[in-house]
């Protein structure tokens, strides 16, 4: 577990780490309308077909398609209007040969009808009769029962993030509660004799705690529940006690320690002694963020982040996010949307190292231009100036 003996690339480090713990996936059942962003815990099948009856998709006339065969502008078909389908009711209108019924978009097709003619393709003739100017194909301008979903078809798989569309689909089927995985809890430990809570005035040599709050926000952004703990003084006993408590109370523990070598060593030692198997990865080939620690203690993931606020956010974005996703039971890695942009200068990187660089984007007629916002990884405002 020596620091930096071998630096793993971020992707390999992530795979090693994620393979070393499993998701316990506790679940809870909540109202579907409050399930935005949550992850489904079970497969759900359709309790009935959708639509549950054949519906018109236009305003017009429900017809027997064969009664309109051969109809044209020059030689319209004449049909007798024998009723009007009322919205939201059973369409109990028997249609004989040459008969049709007025129907509105969304209306239920009478049992004898197999197509709908749009009102624009008809004209009122004498009395109860209409002229149809175009032949209708069977199934035209209608949704058949079960065309969206058949009864017993799977409408939601386990491990899916609920978006507005999924919520709508469940509501359409009358599924008003849904079983989702519990949000993973993430304990955030900050340390450093020089670190004080943001509400305090800073004295000489002191800095305010930033990481507890950026990490809290990042955890919430990705569906976790963040639990912040008091800042730990730089000594082994306090480290061990705080870590043990946080590990017992959370599904994940994140350390954001002071950045000096001695405090980094203290963090690594504390994490390694927290439970088996201990530290799996110590040092990742990424800039910023090299001194990252990935560990598992008694089955729970533990992450030691660099102390510098920019490094901590970059690394948390890779490892904390993926940890929350795994513990949420997400079946697949979410798609990562991108903004393609042109970099206007050359940036050098060390061979094998992954570099994360904050940029400011400017829209031009030829697409986005990316201007790097340079800054040391200690400078939080480097990130606020970037997109």
Report the alpha-carbon distance of residue 113 to residue 139 in Å, rounded: 9
Taking the least distance from each CB to its own copies, the nearer of 20 and 379 is 379
Binding span for its own copies by CB under 8 A among 12-20, 168-176, 237-245, 296-304: 168-176
Shortest reach from residue 315's CB to its own copies, in Å? 13
Q: In the bound complex, what is the minimum distance in angstroms from residue 74's beta carbon to its own copies?
A: 27
Positions 113 through 152 that interact with its own copies (CB under 8 A): 119, 143, 147-149
Contact region for its own copies (CB under 8 A) — 65-73, 238-246, 253-261, 349-357? 253-261
* Least gap, CB of 283 to its own copies (angstroms): 16
Q: What's the min distance (Å) between Cβ of 134 and its own copies?
A: 19
Task: Find the binder of its own copies among 126, 262, 348, 351 (CB under 8 A).
Answer: 262
Using the CB atoms, write b or e for 146-159: b if 16+ within 10 Å.
Answer: bebbeeeeebbebb
CB of 281 to its own copies, least distance (A): 21
Binding positions for its own copies, 175-204, rule CB under 8 A: 175-176, 192-196, 198-204
For residues 111 and 204, give the distance between their C-alpha atoms in angstroms, rounded to a whole number. 84
Count of residues of this chain found to bind its own copies when the rule CB under 8 A is applied: 99
Looking only at residues 326 through 385 of this chain, which bind its own copies when binding is defined by CB under 8 A?
335-340, 361, 375-376, 378-384
Nearer to its own copies, 171 or 248 (CB): 171
Site map 273..312 versus its own copies, x via CB under 8 A: ----------------------------------x-x---
CB of 198 vs its own copies, minimal distance in Å: 4
Lay out the site mask for its own copies across 97-116 (x = CB under 8 A, - = otherwise). -------xxxxx--------
Closest CA to 376 of 361, 360, 362, 358: 358
Residue 155 is a binding residue for its own copies (CB under 8 A): yes
Backbone phi, then psi, for 270, in 5-degree steps? -60, -45
Taking a C-beta distance cutoff of 8 angstroms, is the pair 151, 101 a contact? no
- Of residues 85 and 274, the one with the C-beta less far from its own copies: 85
Q: Are strands 354-355 and 286-287 parallel, antiparallel or unpaired?
A: parallel
Shortest CB 105 distance to its own copies, Å: 4
| Residue 210 vs residues 46, 61, 197, 214, 228: alpha-carbon distances, Å | 48, 67, 9, 6, 12
Name the one range near its own copies by CB under 8 A: 53-61, 65-73, 75-83, 130-138: 53-61
Asked if 258 interacts with its own copies (CB under 8 A), we say yes
Binding residue for its own copies (CB under 8 A) from 62, 71, 215, 318? 215
Written in H, E and C, the secondary structure of 291-322 is CCEEEEECCEEEEEECCCHHHHHHHHHHHHHH
Q: Is residue 373 within 8 Å of 382, Cβ to Cβ? A: yes
Nearest Cα to Cα of residue 355 among 17, 9, 18, 13: 9
Distance CA 182, CA 40 (A): 10
**Minimum CB separation from its own copies for residue 175, in Å?**
8
CB-based contact 55:86 (threshold 8 Å): no
> Of 61-69, 213-221, 268-276, 322-330, which part binds its own copies (CB under 8 A)?
213-221
User: Could you tell me which of 215, 291, 229 has the C-alpha nearest to residue 260?
Assistant: 291
Nearby residues of 206 by Cβ (< 8 Å), 6 or more positions away = 194, 195, 196
């Amino acid at each position: 577990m020596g620091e930096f003996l071998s630096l793993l690339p971020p992707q390999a480090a992530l795979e090693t780490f994620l393979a070393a713990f499993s998701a316990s996936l506790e679940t809870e059942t909540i109202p579907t309308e409050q399930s935005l962003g949550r992850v489904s815990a079970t497969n759900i099948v359709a309790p009935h077909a959708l639509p549950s009856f054949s519906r018109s998709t236009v305003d017009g006339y429900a017809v027997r398609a064969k009664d309109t065969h051969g109809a044209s502008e020059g030689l319209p078909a004449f049909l007798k209007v024998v009723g009007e389908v009322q919205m939201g009711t059973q369409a109990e209108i028997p249609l004989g040969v040459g008969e049709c019924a007025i129907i509105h978009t969304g209306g239920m097709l009478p049992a004898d009808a197999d197509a709908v003619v749009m009102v624009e393709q008809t004209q009122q003739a004498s009395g109860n009769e209409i002229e149809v100017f175009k032949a209708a194909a069977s199934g035209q301008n209608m949704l058949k029962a079960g065309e969206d979903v058949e009864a017993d078809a799977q409408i939601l798989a386990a491990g899916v993030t609920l978006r507005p569309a999924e919520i709508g689909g469940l509501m359409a089927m009358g599924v008003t509660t849904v079983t989702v995985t519990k949000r993973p809890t993430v304990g955030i430990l900050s340390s450093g004799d020089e670190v004080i809570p943001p509400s305090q005035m800073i004295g000489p040599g002191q800095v305010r705690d930033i990481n507890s709050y950026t990490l809290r926000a990042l955890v919430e952004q990705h569906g976790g529940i963040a639990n912040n703990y008091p800042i730990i003084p730089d000594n082994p006993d306090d480290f061990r006690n705080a870590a043990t408590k946080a590990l017992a109370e959370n599904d994940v523990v994140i350390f954001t320690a002071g950045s000096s070598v001695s405090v980094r060593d203290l963090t690594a030692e504390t994490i390694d002694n927290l439970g088996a198997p201990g530290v799996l990865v110590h040092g990742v080939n990424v800039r910023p963020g090299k001194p990252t620690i990935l560990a598992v203690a008694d089955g729970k993931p533990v992450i030691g982040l660099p102390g510098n606020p920019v490094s901590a956010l970059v690394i948390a974005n890779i490892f904390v996010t993926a940890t929350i996703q795994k513990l949420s039971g997400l079946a697949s890695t979410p798609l990562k949307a991108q903004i393609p942009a042109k970099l206007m200068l050359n940036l050098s990187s060390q061979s094998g190292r992954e570099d994360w660089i904050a940029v400011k984007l400017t829209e031009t007629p030829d697409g986005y231009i990316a201007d790097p916002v340079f800054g040391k990884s200690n400078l939080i405002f480097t990130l606020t100036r970037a997109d």
